[in-house]
Amino acid sequence: MKLSNKIHVYTTALFIVLLLLVSGAVYFSFSHIIYESDLEQTREEAERIVSGVTENQTTVPSSELLRAYVPANGMIRIVRQNGQAESIAEGNQQYLLEQAYDFHPQEQAEIESYEGTPHSFVSIPIIWSEGEVAALQLTQSLETSAENLDILRLVLVIVTVLAILPLFISARLLSNLITKPIASLIDTMQQIRGSGRFKRIDTQGKSKDELHQMANAFNDMIDQLEENYHKQEQFVSNASHELKTPLTVIESYSSLLKRRGKQDEELFQESVDAIHSEAKRMRDLTQQLLLLAKQEEHWNVTIVSKQLLPLLHSTVSSFEKAYHRDVITKAAVDVTIDTDEQKLKQLIYIFMDNARKYSEDQIEVSLVSTAEKAEIQIVDHGIGMEAEELEKVFDRFYQVEESRTDGYGLGLSMAKELAKAIGAEISLKSQIGQGTVVTISLPITQ
């Protein structure tokens, strides 16, 4: 069964049950109120009769006295303690005379049913002739009340039946309203599967409910899938392009070894060195490509509070020892930032390494801060770049023509991904013949 049909059926059934419960509660509440009201009226009538009979029983014969008070829709009965009774009923209430009776020494009031018709019954003690204690019992038919309750029951049944039709229609509309975004989601999925293209659900002008959140979550998932798909395509394209050269070199030297390697020891050594060098180059290139292919959330970022100046000195010291280059460090004050220490070091290292490759002069690293952010500036006095080249340096495998090195053109692409992962911002300024200034901006811990 479809979800819309389930919602339709269950909603309709639930509201029908609620209507029946409400109708039943209304009917039984009114029934109780009406019968209690009738019983109270019968009690008041019995008390009035007891008062009248007590005042006049010495002057008027008992039979005539009782007949004077007998109600038109009921019966009066005097029951003595010995079980003898004197009863008088009016008109079509003669069947009440045949009903069993008992002496009740205490006042009693209840609803009884005779021949399928409810009656109010009240028994009140009374001083009868010669001071004897008897029970005056008054019984009244509640046929009119019963007929009114029958009409009420019929009205409630009709109203319930009439309410089912609009309820059925509204339940269908409700089920369609709830399942429409789900149907749209399914339709979009089927279109994606059929066309192979990434599509989104239109959420413009929709209410901000859970279904809207589900559509947004689906769109976010599609964005992530599309980004991963493009990263995968780019990875395959880049890998096949960049691996072609080392593979060609390895294949060429392998063929050369196969033909003349055994006879020429010098050629053998040259081929082995070349194959080993290209294999290392392929390994390094593959590792960088795999790292760049990762999603930002898969970088395993560990954010902690760090003093920036010691971190900067540590990174510069390691760089100087590794490359035997002098780096001038300038820092006026220290600041505390929230960052991933290792990835920030790696980011600084990439830009210092670029400065080393493109400049023979000293490298300058400075730390400045404002009220909200800290800025690490890495300055080289190398060949510099044109303004239009600054927009391309973060593209993968891009290298400035005048500065081709033994790298792969992946360093700045990785720097861009690292900066994004740790919440840093990168800006570049460069002039031909004067050098380049790289600024890494980081928010200061408040």
Query: Are residues 111 and 15 part of one domain?
Result: yes
d(C-alpha 120, C-alpha 95), whole Å:
15
Query: Are residues 321 and 272 part of one domain?
Result: no
Cα-to-chain-centroid distance, residue 148: 51
Complete DSSP assignment for 355-398: HHHH-SS-EEEEEEE-SSEEEEEEEE-SS---HHHHTTTTSTT-
| Torsion angle (degrees, nearest 10) of CA 331, 332, 338, 343 | 0
Out of 127, 150, 173, a domain closes at: 150
d(C-alpha 196, C-alpha 441), whole Å:
40
Query: Are residues 319 and 283 part of one domain?
Result: no
Query: Domain residues for 103?
Result: 3-150
**Residue 386 within a domain:** yes
The pTM for the full model equals 0.47
Query: Are residues 123 and 233 part of one domain?
Result: no
**Residue 57 within a domain:** yes
Query: Are residues 399 and 315 part of one domain?
Result: yes
Q: Per-residue pLDDT for 238 more than 70?
A: no
Query: Are residues 334 and 289 part of one domain?
Result: no
Pairing of strands 133-141, 435-443: unpaired
Q: What mean pLDDT do residues 126-138 have? A: 85
Provide the pLDDT for residue 154.
Answer: 93
Cα-to-chain-centroid distance, residue 177: 18
Provide the pLDDT for residue 37.
Answer: 93
Q: Per-residue pLDDT for 292 more than 70?
A: no
pLDDT tens digits, residue range 334-366? 889 898 888 888 888 888 888 888 888 889 999
